Structure 1
């Protein structure tokens, strides 16, 4: 599965930036060893259900110190038996654009 998620604490930090909280969550994602991509609005992670969902929970837990509430938005592309889709989907579209 590919799972795109956006996560944020209830309010920005002292410098009006979510960057420290996002960095804490991204550190969890990187530590998972799963393929991932950081975008300006969403982070996408690739793996099986049982691999991805614990990482999402750990990201929520990592946000805890930055606010008393955490907002989480997720969108998943679930295709059994597929791997490498984090880049393959983009590669297919880019190939069509080159034609």
Structure 2
């Protein structure tokens, strides 16, 4: 499964509203998990089985909770039993499709 999630604290007491320290704590947990992952400006996507992915999301959310009085979690999952390596494979299929469009196929 692939899970894309965004987690952020509120009630941080910071005047600038920045949450980068909290997000860094969450991303560190994801990266240390050893699961395939990718972080962009909006979401972190992680790949693995149900139990291991949601354990990482839970721990990342708990880490963010240390930075504020509330935590917001947004999550989207692509559950496709029997498929692995989809973090890269989905992008590869997209690029192949784009090449087909560019060549007029």
Q: TM above 0.5, one fold?
A: yes
Q: How far apart are residue 69 of structure 1 and its match?
A: 0.6
* CA distance in 1 between partners of 2:45 and 2:12 (Å): 22
TM-score by length of 2: 0.89
Asked if 1:77 is matched to 2:58, the reply is no
User: Is residue 2–residue 86 contact of structure 1 (8 Å, CA) maintained in 2?
Assistant: yes
Equivalent residue number for residue 2 of structure 1 = 2
1:33 is paired with a residue whose SS is coil
Q: Residue 65 of structure 1 corresponds to which residue in structure 2?
A: 66
Q: Distance in 2 between matches of 1:47 and 1:3?
A: 9
Alignment of 1:43-58 (within 5 A): 43-58=44-59
Q: How many residues align?
A: 99
Larger Rg: 2
Using structure 1 for the length normalisation, give the TM-score: 0.94
CA RMSD of aligned residues (A): 1.2
> In the aligned structure 2, how far is the partner of 1:61 from the partner of 1:13?
18
| 3-state SS, counterpart of residue 66 of structure 2 | helix
> C-alpha displacement at 1:16, in angstroms?
2.8
What residue ranges of structure 2 are gaps of 5+ in the alignment? Answer: 101-105
Shift of 1:8: 0.4
